[in-house]
Copies of this chain bind each other. A is one copy, B any other.
């Protein structure tokens, strides 16, 4: 059916033989409408092909039916695309728009959010690491009386954050390394962010299960300024007398740097060095050898964040989280037994 563009509630009301207020009530699920009238309105909507004007509704209600996803503009991996992919689905279901904000400069972030609020006025925000803990940003959002959901923040509560089971995934991965006989497992991690704390916890628990002590000289802490800095640190770690025989990294991208340095040092993976990444970036299976990694459910994280934000916080409905947020170890070919 050809949808005429200039239909309004008045047209629907005329066709249905009721007032515009009744039409509005039906469209907004107001229970105080006689079934008979409700039917008339719904059929009039169907017949005319009427679609409510989002902007008029926005103006009148003060709600924007828009949520904003802030992510660090770090284009080297697919994290943000996957997050968007999941969040969009939920937005579509609830009739919300999604606006994305790659942020380049974290320093002025609060100011940027203030501008976004002034201009586009989103009803809620999704904060992703490493910005989930930015106090200034959260202050601005609260000052604007808007909702916020944080992905993997440091401070946990039941309402405003979404987490996945990083500890279990990493524990399983490191467990595999220890099972293969490795006793010196290096960890390249961001120890100061929540995601890093949880990875370390998994690393630690695996060691504890084996009754092994933690060797703090096997730790490299990021983030660093440049790839070269990482490579230097990795090279130094692999050059020592008692070098590690396995490496776990904060993400798959950093694992590629370990691959690179290992190649330069003529260390063959997995024979001379085992490597496990984190995230299961789609490209990780095409490295050679294919990278063993911990699958992180990023698409589901996006779904959960958008779902909780929209349903629980903005619409004040009950939200039943149904997404699978487990992290699981994916065994490929970058790990071998200690020779």
Contacts and interface: CB of A to CB of B under 8 A. Distances in A.
Interface of A: 3, 5, 51, 53-56, 58-59, 64, 73, 75-78, 80-82, 84-85, 88, 95, 97-102, 114, 118-121, 144, 227, 253, 256-257, 259-260, 263-264, 282-283, 285-290
Given A59-B59, A78-B81, 7 more contacts: A51-B119, A55-B121, A56-B59, A77-B78, A85-B102, A256-B287, A257-B286
A54 to B, nearest CB: 6
Given A253-B286, A288-B263, A84 B56 contact: no
A84 B290 CA distance: 30
Copies of this protein in the complex = 2
Contact of A121 (B54, B82, B144): B54
Nearest to A50: B118
A59 B53 contact: yes
Contacts of A97: 99, 119-120
A181 to B, nearest CB: 25
A63 to B, nearest CB: 10
B55 A81 contact: no
Contacts of A58: 55, 58-59
Nearest to A51: B118
Contact of A76 (B59, B121, B282, B287): B282
B76 A88 contact: no
A118 B3 contact: yes
Given A55-B55, A119-B95, A256 B84 contact: no
Contacts of A100: 84, 88, 98, 100
A116 to B, nearest CB: 9
A120 B64 CA distance: 11
Contacts of A56: 59
Contacts of A73: 81, 85
14 contacts: A51-B118, A51-B119, A54-B121, A59-B59, A75-B82, A76-B282, A78-B78, A88-B100, A88-B101, A95-B119, A227-B285, A256-B283, A257-B286, A260-B288
A207 to B, nearest CB: 29
